[in-house]
Amino acid sequence: MSSGRVYRFTPAKEQQAHHLFVFLHGCGATAQSMIPIAFKFQARFPTAALVVPSGFDPDARGGAAQDWYPTRGLNCDNHRERVAAVLPDFEDLVRREQTNFGVTASRTVLVGFSQGGTLALEAVKSPGIAGAVVAFSSRYARLPACGARIGSRIHLVHGAFDSVVSRVYAERAARVLEGLHVPVTLDIVEDLGHALSHHAISLGSLRLLQGIYEGRRHTIH
């Protein structure tokens, strides 16, 4: 298995990294496709280090485009198993980058689009990986079980007209997470399909900023 290239960017002005943001591309895409999105987040978080890895399944489509897990024959029954198979490698990657940049799990954020968002959502079902997830046009492989304890803030951003991953998945996930008392936000972007727009990215980074501020406020009082 080839993990492909990993692109790393230090904080703006070479400051000490206060946060680590890991950006996960969509199905059949490349790490490079997420670099412009990463810089848009860094504009709002100048002390964040950025890590943009390539998917773990380079054979799915051939060439430079990669997936995180195989999509051929993917269905509701095997989705969770396929994600679970790559989670250990993904968690190793995140922990390695946390060590590299000297950033704790609580200050780590996973930002994913589509399949990358699914990987992020499933990863934080286990504690101690990341403090927050921003998932664009994503869905759980399997919704969190009743009584699950998720220690991360979850920010869902979804296109109203997404025909690849229906907004219904995001709406259902938000309801389940609220029922589990997980801090969650859901933004449905009008006139957007299965894509990342400037407005969607701005919403995702804004919700993240608001969540971090809210977390600090609770810590102070």
Q: Which of 19, 57, 162, 205 is catalytic?
A: 162
* Contact assessment for residue 67 and residue 60, using Cβ atoms and an 8 Å cutoff: yes
DSSP string covering 80-105: HHHHHHHHHHHHHHHHHHHHHHT--G
**194 classed as catalytic:** yes
193 is written with which tokens?
A: 């399909």
Q: What are phi and psi of 139, to 5 degrees?
A: -150, 155
**25 classed as catalytic:** no
Q: Which of 3, 187, 194, 199 is catalytic?
A: 194
How far is the C-alpha of 185 from the C-alpha of 7, rounded, in Å?
29
Residues in the chain: 221
Q: Which of 114, 137, 138, 205 is catalytic?
A: 114
**114 classed as catalytic:** yes
How far is the C-alpha of 113 from the C-alpha of 117, rounded, in Å?
5
Give catalytic residues, as residue numbers.
114, 162, 194
